[in-house]
Amino acid sequence: MTLTLNTDQMKAQMKAMMFHQPGVVHYESVPKPTPGPGEIIVKIGTALTCGTDLKCFKRGHPVLLKNFPSPFGHEFSGTVDATGEGVTQFQPGDRVVAANSAPCFDCFYCQKAQFNLCEQLDLLNGAYADFMKVPAQIVAVNTHKIPESLPFELAAFTEPLAVSLRGIEHCKIKPGDQVAVMGLGPIGLLMVRLAVMQGAIVTAYARNPLKRSLAETFGGANTVIDLSQYPNFFEDPTACLPKTLENRGFDVVIEAIGLPESWQAAVQLVRKGGLVNWFGGCPSGSQVQLDTRRIHYDEITLISLFHHTPAHVKHAVDLLSSGELNPSPLISERFAMPQLLEAFQLLEAGKAIKVALTPP
Ligand SMILES: [Zn+2]
Ligand SMILES: [Zn+2]
């Protein structure tokens, strides 16, 4: 039996990477989304890989991936393809970037201006596709036009940059501060760069040679420490403190690895009166051990930050649009969308920071 589709039905299909179960993602035909009231459809220009996507691919995700097969991917920018009823600020053809969530401005946390903790933060997924529907609240709050001069692949850094901007802001770095960044994934590298832009003297820690070299060339780190030379780093992190600190420790330590042992090491690396930013999320249920004497009598400030707010999203778009921050060195490869699994393999092997994927 042959199935015949009329032209309307043919037009209404698109290709997307769909997550079926951990380790199983297929590039398949799915219905092209249509915009409801307040929504827009974005024709994907570029989608970027993210460590979260790789984690989801390997283990699944209780919140991000719910109904299977599930759309996938959350860092993207592109062109408005269609707009729903009531959308006046965007027209088809506009080049845009959208964040992966938007606060409701109504719940308990939003009323306290803790927008990143909004109870309605539905995280958006589906950027590894030809088209993507952006929900009304994200269209209204967290979608921005981008200039012709900004390539899609750089605009797609808006989300990780927004998270990093909020992370760095809470570190309250002053010019001349000694700052450590542990872990140099995309977020760690952005944190190095942002700390340097704030006038900090930055020491970056990582094993991977690609990441270490980017900490210098992209980040502008003053010192880069090769952790493969310090196999006992997590037990005794102070063994490789830069000499200039005279054993005092850093003013600010930013942990961007997301392991309990590195959260603990971060506390050992900070000076009396300093601040530790636990920025890497650890596996849920994991625990850390801290010396209460150290925290109390040395007055260590401990903070841990999650996600972004609309102000940080806007700030990220502005920094990227003006070219003040150009993250293109963090794009290690450019692939066609169907090569997503190849991209994940490179990330897994530590041979890429980010891979830019383009619909064919
Ligand atoms: Zn991401
Ligand atoms: Zn809310």
What tens digit of pLDDT does each residue of 83-130 get? 999 999 999 999 999 999 999 999 999 999 999 999 998 889 999 999
Residue where a domain stops, chosen among 278, 304, 330: 304
What is the 314 CA–ligand 2 centroid distance (Å)? 18
| 239 assigned to some structural domain | yes
Q: How many CB atoms lie within 10 A of CB 217?
A: 10
Please tell me whether residues 217 and 93 are part of one structural domain: no
Per residue, the 3-state secondary structure of the chain, as one string, reads CCCCCCHHHHHCEEEEEEEEECCEEEEEEEECCCCCCCCEEEEEEEEECCHHHHHHHHHCCCCCCCCCCECCCCEEEEEEEEECCCCCCCCCCCEEEECCCCCCCCCHHHHCCCHHHCCCCCCCCCCCECEEEECHHHHHHHEEECCCCCCHHHHCCHHHHHHHHHHHHCCCCCCCCEEEEECCCHHHHHHHHHHHHCCCEEEEEECCHHHHHHHHHCCCCCEEEEHHHCCCCCCCHHHHCCHHHCCCCEEEEEECCCCHHHHHHHHHHEEEEEEEEECCCCCCCCCCCCCHHHHHHCCCEEEECCCCCHHHHHHHHHHHHHCCCCCHHHEEEEEEHHHHHHHHHHHHCCCCCEEEEECC
Rounded-to-integer distance, Cα 217 and Cα 193, Å: 10
**CATH classification at residue 189:** 3.40.50.720
Residue 62 has pLDDT above 80, yes or no: no
pLDDT in tens, 185-241: 999 999 999 999 999 999 999 999 999 999 999 999 999 999 999 999 999 999 888
Q: How far is the CA of 210 from the centre of ligand 1 (A)?
A: 20
Tell me the residue range of the domain where 222 lies. Answer: 171-304
Segment 341-359 shows an average pLDDT of 97
Q: Is residue 212 part of a domain?
A: yes
Q: Which bound ligand lies closest to the C-alpha atom of 159? A: 1
Residue 4 has pLDDT above 60, yes or no: no
Cα 128–chain centre separation = 16
Shortest-distance ligand to the CA of residue 47: 1
Do 69 and 17 share a structural domain?
Answer: yes
The band of 244, judged by pLDDT with boundaries at 50, 70 and 90, is confident
Q: Is the pLDDT of residue 263 over 60?
A: yes
Average pLDDT, the chain: 94
> What is the number of structural domains in the chain?
2
Share of the chain above pLDDT 90, in %: 88
Residues 277 and 315 in one domain: no
Q: Which residues surround ligand 1, an ion (CB under 5 A)?
A: 50, 52
For residue 119, the ligand closest to its alpha carbon is 2
Domain-located, residue 109: yes
State in Å: Cα 63 to ligand 1 middle: 14
Please report the pLDDT score of residue 182 as a whole number: 97
Q: Is the pLDDT of residue 1 over 70?
A: no
What pLDDT is stored for residue 93 in this prediction?
98
Count the Cβ atoms, other than its own, within 10 Å of residue 173.
23
Q: Of all residues in the chain, what percent carry a pLDDT higher than 70?
A: 97
For residue 85, being part of any structural domain is answered with yes
Cα separation, 182 vs 25, whole angstroms: 32
End-to-end CA distance of the chain: 30
90 and 24 assigned to the same domain: yes
**Residues 212 and 129 placed together within one structural domain of the fold:** no
Say if residue 103 is in the same domain as residue 216. Answer: no
Going from the Cα of 226 to the center of ligand 1, the distance in angstroms, rounded, reads: 26
Q: Are residues 209 and 223 in the same domain?
A: yes
Residues 300 and 312 in one domain: no
Is residue 6, in this structure, part of any structural domain at all?
Answer: no
Question: Which listed ligand is nearest to 76 at the C-alpha?
Answer: 1
**186 CA to centre of ligand 1 in angstroms:** 9
Longest dimension (CA), the chain: 79
111 alpha carbon – ligand 2 mean position (Å): 7
CA 11 / ligand 1 centre spacing (Å): 30
Among 162, 160, 155, 184, which residue's Cα sits nearest to residue 326?
155
Q: Using pLDDT thresholds of 50, 70 and 90, give the confidence band for residue 283.
A: confident
* 126-162 pLDDT tens trace: 999 999 999 999 999 999 999 999 999 999 999 999 9
Whether residue 50 has pLDDT greater than 50: yes
Antiparallel, parallel or unpaired: β 40-48 and 354-358: antiparallel
Q: Which distant-in-sequence residues (6+ apart) come within 8 Å of 222 by Cβ?
A: 201, 202, 203
Look-up of token digits 């005279």: 246
State in Å: Cα 105 to ligand 2 middle.
Answer: 5
Please tell me the distance between residue 355's alpha carbon and the centre of ligand 2 in angstroms.
Answer: 32
Q: Which of 287, 304, 321 is the last residue of a domain?
A: 304
Q: How many CB atoms neighbour CB 248 within 10 A?
A: 13
Give the pLDDT of residue 60.
82
Give the mean model confidence (pLDDT) for residues 48-58.
92
Co-location of 132 and 179 in the same domain: no
Tell me if 260 is assigned to some domain.
yes
Which domain-ending residue is among 289, 304, 319? 304
Q: Residue 205 Cα, ligand 2 centroid: separation in angstroms?
A: 36
Domain shared by 182 and 108, yes or no:
no
pLDDT of 3 > 80? The answer is no
Tell whether 7 is covered by a domain.
Answer: no
Shared domain check, 205 and 228 = yes
Closest ligand (CA of 74): 1
What CATH number is attached to the domain comprising 70?
3.90.180.10
Taking the C-alpha atoms of residue 276 and residue 254, their distance in angstroms, rounded to an integer, is 6
Spacing, Cα 110 to ligand 2 middle (Å): 4
User: Would 16 be classed as within a structural domain?
Assistant: yes
Among the bound ligands, the one closest to the CA of 99 = 1
Distance 51 CA to ligand 1 centre (A): 7
Residue 101 CA to ligand 2 centre (angstroms): 11
Residue 204 to residue 227: CA distance in whole angstroms: 10
Identify the pLDDT of residue 8.
Answer: 54
Same domain, 135 and 202: no
pTM: 0.95
Q: Are 192 and 334 in contact (CB under 8 A)?
A: no
Ligand 2 centroid, distance to 292 Cα (angstroms):
35
